[in-house]
Amino acid sequence: MSKINLLKPNRENINLFLALGVLFFSLGIIDFYLNNFYEKNITGFLPGFISFFTPLIFGMIGLHFIRIEFSGIKKLDELNKNINTSNFNAALSFCIILLLIFSIPPLLNWFIFDANIAGDTKEACTGGGACWVYIKVWFNRFMYGMYPNAEQWRVNATFIIVLVLMGLGYFFPLRFKKYLTLYYVIFLPIISFLLIYYLISGGEFGLEWVETGAWGGLSLTFIVSFFSLIFCFPIGMMLALGRRSDLPVVKYSSLTFIEFWRGVPLITVLFMSAVMFPMFLPDGTYVDKLIRVIAAIVLFEAAYTAEVIRGGLQALPRGQYDAAKSLGMGYWRLHLLVILPQALKLVIPGIANTFLALVKDTPLIFVVGLLELAGMLGLAKTNPKWLGFSMEGYVFAGIIFWIICYSMSKYSYNLELKYKTDR
Amino acid sequence: MKLKKILPQFLTLLFIVLIFGFFTMNAQENMDTRGIEFGFGFLKQEASFDIQFSLIDYDGSKSYARAYLVGLLNTLLVSAIGIVLCTILGVVIGVARLSPNYLINRTASFYIEFFRNIPLLLQIFFWYFAALRALPMPEDASLLLGTSYMTIKGLYTPAPIWNNFDVFLISLIISLVIIFFFNRYAKRKQEEAGIQYPKFLISLGIFIIIPALTFVFGGVDLQWSFPELKQLAKTSFTYEGGVGIPPELIALTLALTLYTATFIAENVRAGIQGIGKGQKEAAASIGLTPGQVLKLVIMPQALRIIIPPTTNQYLNLTKNSSLAAAIAYPDLVLVFAGTAMMQTGRAIEIVAITMATYLTISLSISVFMNWYNKSIAIKEK
């Protein structure tokens, strides 16, 4: 046994240092735990300022003791390499561990252990945690808005059919692959529009008519983002081509259009579609609120899409243009067959980000009085029978939006990897 | 060949003219039938509505133009605070994202994935309607850091009371001018003779010492007025003295900062990762210290990658601050495009002014940033 130097933990006395380190580390954790959850300060005899920092001091001493280079224990070496390389690093790691201890138990309690889910009145919520009864009771409203309960199968049916049609593209036989773009850009939107017009809106074929004001909840979020996505893409592409055109009038009008929409917030655009746009139409014409909103979002997002696509166009080397021209291709053939397929591949992440932003912007349509998920929450929260559950509502909506957006971003990441071609 | 160039342009022009003509004609007709006349004269009329939170002197007897100014200043205030805070947070998180420390790295990426995938409006609602509503009433609030009170009605902090504030301001400007000239001198010395001054320390010294001197010689005086609890009615309390920061502003700033910081963090990470390893090694091999490597080699190059997308985020933050209307923070959209429009009914003029304002802010930030970007760009010979 060699001499023990407490400042320099070494391999010879590894057992002693490990024991000391674990002891101090757990002392720090226990001190913190008792302090926060049982309001007992075991180091209370020290002056206030020092006793406040004791958990951190203990933890750092503990981590210092187990920081033994080449200890010979694989797990310990890995641990040291990952969270414990220096005193500074150890302090940060320990702070994060404390933060986790501080936040996870109360959160779990609120979410699961103290929460209520049985029953269907406000009185069923007795625990101190979340009241999921509220979500359960209002679930239909959050999904379908004011859409009549008996007719909700129509919304479901429409979404299922559209999803199936979207998935159909995967099973196209190889012979028809070249029509895939045509199918997605032209046929699918038309079919979806007809479905929404005849099935969700109704009024014909013996289906009861449901006005757009009654649509709402998450289904409205999907409808608005679906149509905005479909329309903003071709318009954005035209604008991007227009901005790179040699013709001055085309170029500067595209430029002005793009810069205008990019310079104003979406909320003012929606205001415009709500209050200013009717003034621009002949007296007596009425355009449905939902259509106005979708048009506003399409114009707004098309400008952003255009800029993203322009980035892809600029990234292509000149040689591609020259080669295509030397084959005698005209403007449209050159762009459709050579330039755009390559450029679009480059901008998949950017486009995906724009689409994500679009989905995240849909709650803004509350400005014109359309209530999608966030709007319905606002309505439910003011219901006198269910006061005081805004937290549950927003957490619920947050989780749903998070799942949608996170899966979209992961999907776009996979798409990016799939289409990545080395140049 | 000529026709091929002229025809599309002509068609575009025709399309634009037709659409604008159609809209203007209809607008003219609609306004005629409703007896409204287009014009901005209403801006001088008395606004006769109150605004909860205002940086400048305002009440109902002031004009609509003044109300517009109040809204604009509130928008700029929340944007400025948001930009400063989200830059700090974004840089910290972005650097943490690159940390070799597993826990820090994971925490940072969890933060980014969590906050960027939830709609901003939902986050604002969450802070305003759920989180801040859980705060205590004014009479139950406890002291925060010995000076402030955090209550359901907002944050009450001490307010500074200045004597001869203008002297202090002038001294600040003078010290900035001196720092500017000193830095130029130091740079010239370094280029000519290779002498290095501790620029940062000296600048900091000048910045602290000169304004501090005004307290001794310039008659500048600073006192703090602390918030004190005052009873209005039997169950109604408020704080007097100090500055009251409304909960709307707090919720909005929190949400904007937390949301935008995730994007800035990703920019910072991408910027630092975008610098090749060779740069670091080359700099180290000519004998620079790690601090110098970071300051003189990595950061100047990384900033070139970081700044353009970050500018976009600043613009987004400014535009997103218009979501304030959803929680009744009196920003430009709420005051002007909301209340003022309801009262005057002048949809076209007011929406046009609001949009023009945002366009001006956006364009001027991007012009400034383009200039800055150019000034730090690589100067190739």
For A184-199, how does the pLDDT look when each residue is reduced to its tens digit (9 = 90+)? 777 777 877 777 777 7
Structural domain including B125 reads 64-132+246-376
Give domain status of residue A31, yes or no: yes
B256 touches chain A (CB under 8 A): no
Are A257 and A303 within 8 A, CB to CB? yes
- What total number of domains does chain B contain? 1
Residue B307 within any structural domain of the chain: yes
Below-70 pLDDT ranges, chain A? 1-7, 41-49, 127, 177-178, 202-204, 206-208, 210, 420-423
A59 and A141 share one domain? no
Same domain, A231 and A305: yes
Is A120 within the bounds of a domain? no
Q: Is residue B215 included in any domain, yes or no?
A: no
Query: Does residue B318 lie within any of the structural domains?
Result: yes
B27-51: pLDDT as tens digits: 888 777 777 777 777 777 777 777 7
Residue A201 domain-assigned?
no
Closest CA–CA distance from residue B250 to any residue of chain A (Å): 18
- A-B Cβ pairs (cutoff 8 Å, strict): 147
A252 and B CB contact within 8 Å:
no
Q: A287 with A360, same domain?
A: yes
Q: Which residue of A has its CA nearest to B115?
A: A402
- A136 with A81, same domain? no
Give the 3-state secondary structure of chain A.
Answer: CCCCCCCCCCCCCHHHHHHHHHHHHHHHHHHHHHHHHHCCCCCCCCCHHHHHHHHHHHHHHHHHHCCCCCCCCHHHHHHHHHHCCCHHHHHHHHHHHHHHHHHHHHHHHHHHHCCECCCCCHHHCCCCCCEHHHHHHHHHHHHHCCCCHHHHHHHHHHHHHHHHHHHHHHHCCHHHHHHHHHHHHHHHHHHHHHHHHHHHHCCCCCCCCCCHHHCEHHHHHHHHHHHHHHHHHHHHHHHHHHHCCCCHHHHHHHHHHHHHHHHCCHHHHHHHHHHHHHHHCCCCCCCCHHHHHHHHHHHHHHHHHHHHHHHHHHHCCHHHHHHHHHCCCCHHHHHHHHHHHHHHHHCHHHHHHHHHHHHHHHHHHHHHCCEEHHHHHHHHHCCHHHCCCHHHHHHHHHHHHHHHHHHHHHHHHHHHHHCCCCC
Mean pLDDT of chain B: 82
Find residues 72-111 of chain B whose CB sits inside 8 Å of chain A: 100-104, 107
Sequence-ordered list of residues with C-beta below 8 angstroms from that of A423, at least 6 positions apart, any chain: none
CATH number at residue A241: 1.10.3720.10
Say whether residue A92 is in contact with chain B using an 8 A CB cutoff.
Answer: yes
Could you tell me if B18 lies within 8 Å of chain A, comparing CB atoms?
no
Instruction: Give B318 or B158, the one with higher predicted confidence.
Output: B318
Residue A137 and residue A78 share a domain:
no
Same domain, yes or no: A62 and A143: no
Q: Is residue B49 part of a domain?
A: no
Answer yes or no: is A326 within a domain: yes
- Per the domain annotation, does A187 fall within a domain? no
> Which ipTM value was assigned to this complex?
0.84
pLDDT recorded at residue A206:
63
User: Which CATH number characterizes residue B287's domain?
Assistant: 1.10.3720.10
Chain B residue numbers with beta carbons less than 8 Å from the beta carbon of A87 are: none
Looking at CA atoms only, how far is residue B161 from chain A in angstroms?
31
Reported pTM: 0.85
Are residues A222 and A359 part of one domain? yes
Residue B320 lies in a domain: yes
Asked, for residue A118, whether it belongs to a domain, the answer is: no
**Owning domain of residue A384:** 132-147+210-418
Which pLDDT score, from 0 to 100, does residue B345 have?
75
Whether B152 and chain A come into contact, CB under 8 Å, resolves to: no
Report yes or no on B191 lying in a domain.
no
Residues A57 and A142 in one domain: no
Domain count, chain A: 2
Choosing among B6, B68, B102, which should be mutated to test the A contact, i.e. which has the most A CBs within 10 A? B102
- Regarding whether A388 and A245 lie in a shared domain, the answer is yes
Whether B332 is in a domain gets the answer yes
Question: What is the per-residue pLDDT across B138-152, written as a single tens digit (0 to 9) for each?
Answer: 667 666 666 777 777
A139 and A52, same structural domain?
Answer: no
Whether A405 and chain B come into contact, CB under 8 Å, resolves to yes
Assigned domain for A9 exists? no
Interface contact flag, A390 B322, Cβ < 8 Å:
no
Residue B218 included in any domain: no
